[in-house]
Amino acid sequence: MFEIVSESFKSAVNKLRFIDDEKALKNALDTLKKALLKADIHHKVTKELLNLVENDLKTNGIGQKQFLDSIKKNLEDILSVKGKNQGFVFAVKPPTVVLMCGLQGGGKTTSTVKLANYLKLRHKKVLVAACDLQRLAAVEQLRQLTQANEIDLFFIENENNPINVAKQALEKAKNSMYDVLLVDTAGRLAIDIALMDELKEIKNILIPDEIFYVADAMSGQDGVKTAITFNEMLNLTGVILSKFDADTKGGIALGIARQINVPLRFIGVGEKIADLEIFIPDRIVNRIMGEGDLATLAEKTATIIDEKEAKILNKKIKKGEFNFNDFLNQMESVKKLGSMKSIIGMIPGLSSMASSIKDIDLDNSKEIIHIKAMISSMTPKERENPDLLNNARKRRIAEGAGLSQMQVNRFLKQFSNASKLAKKFSNKKGMENFMNMLTQAKRPQ
């Protein structure tokens, strides 16, 4: 997302080759205006941003650095909703009740499970309530997603009244001492009176602490108009923008923040359940400007790395005892970070490449499947001690994995090289310092 806008910044900046050239500034602003409108950003928001940038440069001097600094500062201001919350805010008395709403196909159900997983990783007890009883298979979709991610689900068999489900889910959340109750409600293909009446009734029953609207990042200005209607009816407290990683224009993010004055709280940055992040304006602007977002990457890593385990692993690496069990564990940990595309997008210098990178599926890529098959074909002792693998054992592993011995040899060589490199870093305290940075990163709420 925002690639169109990001590229236009570079194009506009290149027009400012000389200091205090007002004609060049006009050309740069015209280039920026066309790009912003092409990105489906509302004309009023576009006009506001252009006026702010022009005033800044006329005050501070015309130049490339001033131009970029002004865009960055004013984008942050537009994306921020002053006095409103960021991320997730817990109620003083649990459970924190969150009403999830949105149109059908906008990613509401998936976003509900993503948010539940996000909170679970932060050691919160979460219950998801299935109150979308209009769409066939909606409850089954939610059941499969929650079960796959070990999240508690509340639903009532053969119940067709979402009000009853909401009442009993709230009672269950209170009696079982859940920290958070997330209520997935029915979506529609378009706004209608029945949908809003049902939502208002559920709202009156639950008295939710938060009302999150899930908006499809691909919906553009139509999505902004729909969000305005939901806000007028329900008084939204936040927006989750799904499909933020998609090749979309990006106008909806600026539109929601400025036109509705409702804060963007989270963004979906990939298809995996782990691909949900807090929307923090300055970090998002850094990504737009191609500067990456190492702070979010460190925070995400901190949720999956245990400090004790990190120290144990570091000791094993130093002693040259890193084995195949450790390797598999690290692969599983990396999967929890989310999609490879979202990780690349956070690294300075590589963020602009994220949209063009073919995402790597750590569950289904051929290479990963082959590696898992090879390790699964090893005995417990072989997994613990790679040095045991002679030619006879390698042949047996190749046969068990359905691969050639050449493929086994190639993997073992790569594993050996990676282990040596990790040991080299750990001996120079590089690995230890890196682990410390990750485990001590502040965990966001």
Of 68, 176, 364, 374, give the one whose Cα is nearest residue 382.
374
Backbone angles phi, psi at 331, to 5 degrees: -65, -40
The larger pLDDT score, comparing residue 72 to residue 2, is at 72
Binning pLDDT at 50, 70 and 90, where does residue 345 land? low
How much is the pLDDT for 415? 83
The answer to the question of residue 364 being in a domain is yes
Tell me how far apart the alpha carbons of residues 201 and 16 are, in angstroms, rounded to a whole number: 56
Instruction: Identify the domain containing residue 120 by its residue range.
Output: 96-279
Same domain as 326, residue 255 = no
Same-domain pairing of 61 and 152 = no
- What is the per-residue pLDDT for 206? 96
Amino acid 350: pLDDT: 47
Cα separation, 282 vs 300, in Å, equals 17
Cα separation, 133 vs 6, in Å, equals: 41
State whether 75 and 106 are in the same domain.
no
Could you give the C-alpha distances from 40 to 6, 74, 228, 257, 264, in angstroms and in order?
A: 14, 18, 17, 14, 18
Q: Cα–Cα distances in Å, from 71 out to 3, 62, 278?
A: 15, 13, 22
Whole-number Å distance between alpha carbons of 123 and 278:
17
The β-bridge relationship of strands 276-278 and 264-268 is: antiparallel
Do residues 63 and 105 both lie within one domain? no
Q: Are residues 324 and 272 part of one domain?
A: no
Q: Are strands 238-242 and 210-216 parallel, antiparallel or unpaired?
A: parallel
Give the CA-trace dihedral at 23, 25, 31, 32, to 10 degrees: -160
Asked if residue 172 and residue 26 are part of one domain, the reply reads: no
pLDDT at 306 over 70: no
- The residues facing 242 across adjacent strands are 216
- Neighbouring C-beta atoms of residue 405, cutoff 10 Å: 14
Contacts 24+ apart (CB under 8 A), 324-330: 324/375, 324/378, 324/382, 324/383, 324/384, 324/386, 324/415, 325/383, 325/384, 327/375, 327/415, 328/372, 328/375
Rg (CA), the chain: 25
Mean pLDDT of 407-420: 84
Instruction: Kindly tell me the burial class for residue 206, based on how many C-beta atoms sit within 10 Å of its own C-beta (0-12, 13-18, 19 or more).
Output: buried
Confidence label for 342 from pLDDT (cuts 50, 70 and 90): low
Q: What is the pLDDT of residues 146-190, one digit of tens each?
A: 999 999 999 998 888 999 999 999 999 999 999 999 999 988 777
| CATH number, residue 141 | 3.40.50.300
Same domain, 121 and 65: no
Least confident among 204-208, 271-275, 318-322: 318-322
For the chain, what's the residue count?
445
Asked whether residue 46 falls in the same domain as residue 125, the answer is no
Q: What is the mean pLDDT of residues 42-71?
A: 85
CATH number at residue 380: 1.10.260.30
- On average, the pLDDT of the chain sits at 80
Number of domains within the chain: 3
pLDDT confidence of residue 440: 45
| pLDDT higher than threshold 90 for residue 255 | no
